[in-house]
Amino acid sequence: MFSGSIPALVTPFDRDGGFDERAYRDLIEWQIAEGSTALVPCGTTGEAATLTQDEQFAIVRLCVDQARGRVPVIAGAGSNDTRVAAANLRAAKEAGADAALMVPPYYNRPSQEGIFRHFEALAQHAPLPIVLYNVPARTVTDIQPETLVRIVAAFPRLFVAVKDASGILQRVSQHRAALGNDFCQLSGNDDLALAFNAMGGVGCISVTANVAPRLSADFQQACAAGDAAKALALHDRLFPLHAALFSDASPGPVKYAMTRVRPGFPEGLRLPMTWPGETSRAAVDAALAHAAL
């Protein structure tokens, strides 16, 4: 259902924390023009944790409006409360999203059975397809391969993909062996996307694509075409940027990078996120120079 370079969009805020609609619309236009194949509003990189529910789905609605059907919109909609997650799914559908990106419950730390029951409950009335998002470094909850297979096998038409940010590459093969080549596996780690695709992945929900959408799209196209030499060259060109964008608390570095490649891009973040430190900014500048950006 999804493939290629899919930016986890930053949310532009002014210095007072207000949402900048014009900057967001411009960002979406640039992403589509540069070859991004889908858009993810209000994910982790979009600072969803600091948005009210009304703000979150107003931003999703705006993203859908600006995309105008040219690429799919996958709305960040997860929650650690199953009832809230169900309400978020309905709100994402009402906002016009094509799918929802859903983390397992964070902070609560449910068992694997609890993770399955959470998604089982969501499946009962889910109004749109779900991309499972496994990011244990943030949620402290890891969807083990056996659990993911159990979820997808129980509801194959609903759970259509995984964004895997576990960093455990062997899971690509484990998931593929159990669910087949047609199950959509997307990397959640830019720095591992080359190896992830080589093992059967079909794309990346990307932080770096915010800053380098054309290079990220070209990289994914090279992978899909089996052009290993071109894919490796683009990977090497982007690799320092992948690292630099996590040289301080994300999304601070990527927002700084946006001001470098898109002059006038708003500089705001919402607390507790802060502007990256001097060392991080220097790393971003060096990485942008390495990538010829």
The answer to whether the bond into 272 is cis (omega within 30° of 0) is yes
| CA pair distance 151, 23, nearest whole angstrom | 38
Tell me whether residue 212 is in a domain: yes
Tell me whether residue 232 is in a domain: no
Find the helix or strand (DSSP H, E) in which 259 lies: helix 252-261
Tell me whether residue 45 is in a domain: yes
| CA pair distance 187, 219, nearest whole angstrom | 13
Tell me whether residue 56 is in a domain: yes
pLDDT at 96: 98
Tell me whether residue 263 is in a domain: no
Structural domain for 73, as ranges: 4-225
Query: What is the chain's pLDDT, residue by residue, as a tens digit (293 residues)?
Result: 899 999 999 999 999 999 999 999 999 999 999 999 999 999 999 999 999 999 999 999 999 999 999 999 999 999 999 999 999 999 999 999 999 999 999 999 999 999 999 999 999 999 999 999 999 999 999 999 999 999 999 999 999 999 999 999 999 999 999 999 999 999 999 999 999 999 999 999 999 999 999 999 999 999 999 999 999 999 999 999 999 999 999 999 999 999 999 999 999 999 999 999 999 999 999 999 999 99
DSSP state of 199: T
Q: Residue 211 sits in a domain of what CATH number?
A: 3.20.20.70
pLDDT at 1: 80
**CB neighbour list of residue 127: distance below 8 Å, 6 or more residues apart:** 89, 90, 93
163: annotated active-site residue: yes
pTM for the model? 0.96
**Which candidate, 276, 266, 289, 290, places its Cα nearest to that of 10?**
266
- The total of structural domains in the chain comes to 1
pLDDT at 260: 98
Tell me whether residue 267 is in a domain: no
133: annotated active-site residue: yes
Residues pairing with 7 in the sheet: 206
| Catalytic one of 93, 106, 107, 163 | 163
| Catalytic one of 24, 106, 107, 133 | 133
Tell me whether residue 230 is in a domain: no
Tell me whether residue 141 is in a domain: yes
